[in-house]
A and B are shown apart, each in its own frame.
Chain A
Amino acid sequence: MLRMLLLPVVLTIAATGAACADKVTTFTLNNGLEAIVIEDHRAPVVTQMLWYKIGAADEAPGKSGIAHFLEHLMFKGTATVAPGDFSKIVEAQGGNDNAFTTQDYTGYFQRVAADRLELMMQMEADRMRGLILTDDIVKTERSVILEERAQRTDSDPGALFSEQRDAAQYMNSPYGIPVIGWRHEMAALSREDALNFYHTYYAPNNAILIVAGDIAPDAVKALAEKYYGPIAPTANLPIRMRPTEPPQLAERRLSMADARVAQPYVIRTYLAPERNSGAQDKAAALTYLAELLGGSSTTSVLARAMQFGADAKAIYTSAFYDGISLDETTFGFVVMPVPGVSLADAEADMDKVIAKFLVDGVDQAAFDRIKRQLRADDIYARDNVGGLAREYGASLTSGLTVADVQAWPQVLQAVTPDAVMQAAHEVLNRKNAVTGWLTQPVDPKTEAKP
């Protein structure tokens, strides 16, 4: 959830890459603020990102959406910066700024000429503790987040269905609650809710500072000590312990019909392990599995089996997995059938393809191509220092360490076909799965139910 829509691509987290960053330096301030400096001196630009280890999944029951709402409200002023002036001051320096919230983290960033970093740090440190909110401001901004929900979720049947599927996937984990919040709870969020959340969780010992670009680590450290250093840590910071999933014993199936659906599809997600500190092998194997089964619309196992030939069943197939997550994540498939093929047939065909893969095993040539591409991605990723900064931020707020991020490319290169098959057999278990059909409204007599 971004504060604003008009910057696309901001949240794309590269699956690989950071280990090749030219120079990565870390330090920790006495108050617990962790800092990472990623040097890239090709252009006179610097990005400051401040990541809080707090996200929507850390919200109290009944307060869904408060993490994201607070993210919006963080631009509403302090004793020294008037409401709405934060972005104006950044723009007056020729910079851009924005913020984002997910289940696991909340982040703020500014992108400016390298010699403007000090002011950015001063302002970011100022609003870590100095936020001032009035009831009027909170009320108006609440209308904005309700419009945001209307635009991004309520107007999009795919997004609405995704919320319903997540709620079914996670029986106990707060990942079953949408980041933006359920509308009825959002409408009741108050100034007090926002400030409680803010005072509880926004603290130097709950944050990670990332500065990327044309700057030396020593200079960053001096500025960080000057602006963030004096902020006292929060002594009673709540331990990040969330409800976790019990064993999932029963497959869940759901269908949703909406007149706005143009292309029906079947989508299945399985509960899957995430990357864990010091133990990323399984996630690396699942990364290959997703690529092999559904990474390419031309050469993946699903595409070859379902999208080619005279009796092709699907217009589109894909497999997806993102291992950066604090708690258990999902591995998924989506299949969009060609006109005339029912979702039941498409799903049956998809299951046949998966079953055959589990018997046949990995095609070595395909495996080798993916391995080479993952290595090359590591090189291409270095072209985008902002992307590297996001990868570190997302990882470190999701339970990983700098060492884990830097080890990841090697972990990927060490994956074997056997490891991929073992992960496949473990994860592709229908008891852990939610299968969804998103359809157009149809005559109930002509379409089977999932």
Chain B
Amino acid sequence: MKMRFVFAALVAFALPAQAEIPIQAVTSPGGIKAWLVEDHGIPFTALEILFRGGTSLDPVDQRGVVNLMTALIEEGAGDLDAQGFAEARDALAAQFSFSANDDSIGVSAQFLTENQAEATDLLHLALTQPRFDADAVERVRGQVISNIQSNAKDPATIAQRRFDMMAFGKHPYGSADSGTEQSVAGLSRADIVAANKASLVRDRVYVAAAGDIDAEKLGILLDKLLGDLPATGAALPPDAVYALKGGVTVVDFPSPQSSVVFGQQGIKRDDPDFIPAYMLNEILGGGRFSARLMTEVRDKRGLTYGIGTYLWPMDHAELMLGQFSSANANVAPAIGLIKQEWADVVKDGVTADELAAIKTYLTGSYPLRFDGNSRIAGILVGMQIEGLPIDYAKTRNEKIEAVTLDDMAKIVKRLLKPDDLHFVVVGQPDGLTTTP
């Protein structure tokens, strides 16, 4: 798994909400579905596409192949080599980006209205006729291996990787989705081509658009862009078994500060109690200054620059995770405080004031997320892959308002397991050792 913090924002954005933004359901003549927000104020369109599956589709002996394949999508397509493709894209002033994570591959595009047809053709070329030229494969393979080497020396990444490995073992979630130096070195062009065909497929695609385009034009664009992708791809992985017990794991790393990742099992996104669970997390460890952990660990004692927890529901497992860094002398007291906060909430619950404050914050901040074509398209595609209905935006705040102190008490008992909290500490923390 990788880039959890970046994606965490998307999970939050993908929460249901109540904005007064008219979302259209579009079905192309060829049957491809998308959500659209039309806004003709600025002459460009933002397009967001997700393919479910992602790096968890890697065959067991080819860890990293989906990640490498994704990085190669715009390194040459059709009759254009890597430089030719980049020149064509830049000449259109179009912006494309491709990314892969545990559960999906993402394609983001922005193009000017005046270049819409040409930009669509070029993106189509990349999605359907990537060349995977030998020299491009070797060049990008070198970049990926370089990233793997950098991650191996980054304490925050080491902490996260160790947590994943102990939690999920041999399931794809248990290992880095960029692969290892060895696994990436062993990937062949045939492996990459196969990964491409297995993952960029029509029956797992989710699309959202926002900006200067109408439903009819979007439908035509979608057929042109995605119509000739393979209908279906590789089987999705099974659910992952969470195997981590409470405790502490110390990974020695010479540094004045320790990086800590901690967590326990979380809750599924489609669980009926997800909303109260989300509110509980915000009260306890949300990345705001008023959250309990930020108040106790940073504001009152100065033990860290920042601490936050978040719910991390994936397709095949669910986590509740947190992260902070502290000087080696401060780690043990900070961990003590976190355990204490966890235990205090279990013992006493949240207060009526906290519940009222989090309702005001979450309902009030919701519309602020929808300020721009790019952000709107990103939110809409996230809602779709999470299975939320198109009118969910209108009911989201009502669901938050409806949560009672009893609901919170129920979810506290169900979700928070102080004895299950596991802390992975990468550094040289004073007075901490790995628990048996």
Give the chain A neighbours of B143 by CB distance below 8 A: 315-316
Q: Is the CB of A45 within 8 A of B290?
A: no
Q: Is the CB of B42 within 8 A of A379?
A: yes
- In the complex, A373→B95 CA distance in Å? 10
Would you list which residues of chain A between 194 and 238 have a CB under 8 Å from chain B? 213
- In the complex, A22→B41 CA distance in Å? 9
Q: Is the CB of A87 within 8 A of B305?
A: no
User: Range of interface residues on chain B?
Assistant: 35 or more
Q: Is the CB of B155 within 8 A of A380?
A: no
Q: Is the CB of B368 within 8 A of A379?
A: no
Proximity bits, B278-312, A CB within 8 Å = 1, else 0: 00000000011110000100111111111010000
Q: Is the CB of B142 within 8 A of A304?
A: no
Q: Which of B42, B287, B302 contacts A143 (CB 8 A)?
A: B302
Q: Is the CB of B301 within 8 A of A147?
A: no
The residue on A at minimum CB distance from B21 is A43
Q: Is the CB of A298 within 8 A of B93?
A: no
Q: Is the CB of A95 within 8 A of B146?
A: no
- In the complex, A382→B41 CA distance in Å? 10
Q: Is the CB of B290 within 8 A of A88?
A: yes
If A376-B93, A380-B110 touch, whether A5 touches B306 (CB-CB below 8 Å) is yes
Q: Does A64 contact B (CB under 8 A)?
A: no
Q: Is the CB of B302 within 8 A of A379?
A: no
The residue on A at minimum CB distance from B366 is A94
- In the complex, A382→B110 CA distance in Å? 13
Q: Does B153 contact A (CB under 8 A)?
A: yes
- In the assembled complex, the CB of B261 is this many whole angstroms from the nearest CB of chain A, namely 14
Q: Is the CB of B360 within 8 A of A42?
A: no
Q: Which of B139, B295, B364, B371 contacts A95 (CB 8 A)?
A: B364
Q: Does B182 contact A (CB under 8 A)?
A: no
Q: Does A418 contact B (CB under 8 A)?
A: no
Q: Does B337 contact A (CB under 8 A)?
A: no
- In the assembled complex, the CB of A428 is this many whole angstroms from the nearest CB of chain B, namely 24
Give the chain B neighbours of A263 by CB distance below 8 A: 146, 149-150
Give the chain B neighbours of A95 by CB distance below 8 A: 364-365, 368
The number of chain A residues with a CB under 8 A from chain B is: 74
The residue on B at minimum CB distance from A379 is B44
Q: Does A308 contact B (CB under 8 A)?
A: yes
- In the complex, A368→B363 CA distance in Å? 47
Q: Does A193 contact B (CB under 8 A)?
A: no
- In the complex, A377→B90 CA distance in Å? 11
Q: Does A278 contact B (CB under 8 A)?
A: no
Q: Is the CB of B371 within 8 A of A45?
A: yes
Give the chain A neighbours of B366 by CB distance below 8 A: 94
Q: Is the CB of B303 within 8 A of A143?
A: yes
Would you list which residues of chain B between 76 and 110 have a CB under 8 Å from chain A? 82-83, 85-87, 90-91, 93, 95, 110
Q: Which of A5, A43, A383 contacts B374 (CB 8 A)?
A: A383
Q: Is the CB of B288 within 8 A of A42?
A: no
Proximity bits, B142-164, A CB within 8 Å = 1, else 0: 11001001111111000000000
Give the chain A neighbours of B150 by CB distance below 8 A: 262-263
Q: Is the CB of A296 within 8 A of B90?
A: yes
- In the complex, A262→B86 CA distance in Å? 29
If A45-B368, A45-B371 touch, whether A379 touches B43 (CB-CB below 8 Å) is yes
Q: Does A267 contact B (CB under 8 A)?
A: no
Q: Which of A143, A154, A308, A369 contacts B91 (CB 8 A)?
A: A369
Give the chain B neighbours of A173 by CB distance below 8 A: none
Q: Does B326 contact A (CB under 8 A)?
A: yes
Known pairs A4-B287, A43-B367. 11 more at Cβ < 8 A?
A8-B5, A94-B361, A112-B364, A112-B368, A113-B367, A147-B305, A150-B327, A151-B325, A299-B83, A299-B87, A375-B93
15 A-B Cβ contacts within 8 A? Answer: A4-B287, A42-B39, A44-B367, A91-B290, A94-B360, A113-B364, A141-B302, A144-B302, A144-B304, A144-B305, A147-B304, A151-B325, A315-B146, A369-B90, A383-B46
Interchain residue pairs A-B with the least CB separation, the first 6: A94-B364, A143-B302, A376-B93, A6-B287, A298-B86, A148-B305
